[in-house]
Structure 1
């Protein structure tokens, strides 16, 4: 199931950059020291600076509910972590609100960003005026081979679960309205109660 991303009239999709541009952009990105309360990502080949979501109580509350449900159902070798950098293979580098990683990887990794190919689940909870960016991240998460991307669209009051990555898109997309349970096909499956979202 494929649908067009919600976009503002001012938004344009940037062409995917060349490898040389990607190398330079990542080098610049690695040197940026954002001001307190902000985070820096590379989305669609462009460096973006945005406020960290933590100060927004509703955002933090939803992220916490998801983390509790996911952590409770994960095998011991995996954990759910907030705000860790995730590199996709082309150029982009994201900081998912929540992601599931192998614990061993976090214990031994020394690089500033984790390889997206090691992530089992990425979660983004939208903030006002940034929903389009979170939808655009689906392409990079798919390129990384992340099996599941859960997008909680607070404005539309819908959870969007992307699964079955292939190239730079997910072959399956399921929209679940707030109030209905969302089942993540982890091993074992984890069900998130969205009634409190």
Structure 2
């Protein structure tokens, strides 16, 4: 019997295999974003404060009942490139009726995700630009960005190819309107 020859792995396949096998130190987070492995250290307290304030409001005030997951790995389809982006938003929101998180694996598809939240950290350019493109390409309806350097909160909506066509930015302290299915003004007064 003759052994079958295996096709050599492509550079992208090797990168994905290596990424999925990566063992990061406790508290660190690894993502594969646009063909680059990005490792970030554990967040500081202010980073977590903003997430907590937003999650509490979305859960309590949204017109559609929302589930959320913190640090849930998402596999995001890419239009032209391989491998698939593997991104971990600071928070992921989906309608309760979608039941996305129960039984989901470490890296789940993004179908049914309503909004992702990012708070700028040690790599703000990735949060502002690279992840924004990834989320738009994947068709996630809303991307909420808390930019600690500029003291602003931005809601991006209407994903089109590599970006969002709608943007609403307010300074910390001002309310940010969140459209349906949320249907309320996000209070940012305690972000100051």
Q: 1:31 to 1:71 in 2, by over 3 A?
A: same
Matches within 5 A, 1:11-90: 20-53=10-43, 56-74=44-62, 75-76=64-65, 78-90=66-78
Tell me which of 109, 112, 117 is aligned to 2:111. 117
Larger radius of gyration: 2
Query: For the residues of structure 2 that align with 1:161 and 1:149, how far apart are their CA atoms?
Result: 6
**Root mean square deviation, CA, Å:** 1.6
Structure 2's unaligned 5+ residue stretches are: 1-9, 79-83
Aligned residues: 173
SS in 1 for 2:89: coil
| Alpha-carbon offset, residue 22 of structure 1 | 4.1
TM-score (norm 2): 0.83
Q: Which of 99-108 and 85-94 deviates more?
A: 99-108
Query: For the residues of structure 2 that align with 1:149 and 1:166, how far apart are their CA atoms?
Result: 13
| Alpha-carbon offset, residue 73 of structure 1 | 2.9
Query: For the residues of structure 2 that align with 1:85 and 1:64, how far apart are their CA atoms?
Result: 19
Does structure 1 conserve the Cα–Cα contact (< 8 Å) formed by 2:69 and 2:101? no
TM-score (norm 1): 0.81
| Alpha-carbon offset, residue 102 of structure 1 | 4.7
| Alpha-carbon offset, residue 147 of structure 1 | 0.5
Tell me which of 138, 141, 159 is aligned to 1:144. 138
Does structure 1 conserve the Cα–Cα contact (< 8 Å) formed by 2:58 and 2:182? no
SS in 2 for 1:70: helix
Query: For the residues of structure 2 that align with 1:193 and 1:73, how far apart are their CA atoms?
Result: 11
Runs of 4+ in structure 1 deviating by more than 6 angstroms, as ranges, are none
Does structure 2 conserve the Cα–Cα contact (< 8 Å) formed by 1:69 and 1:190? no
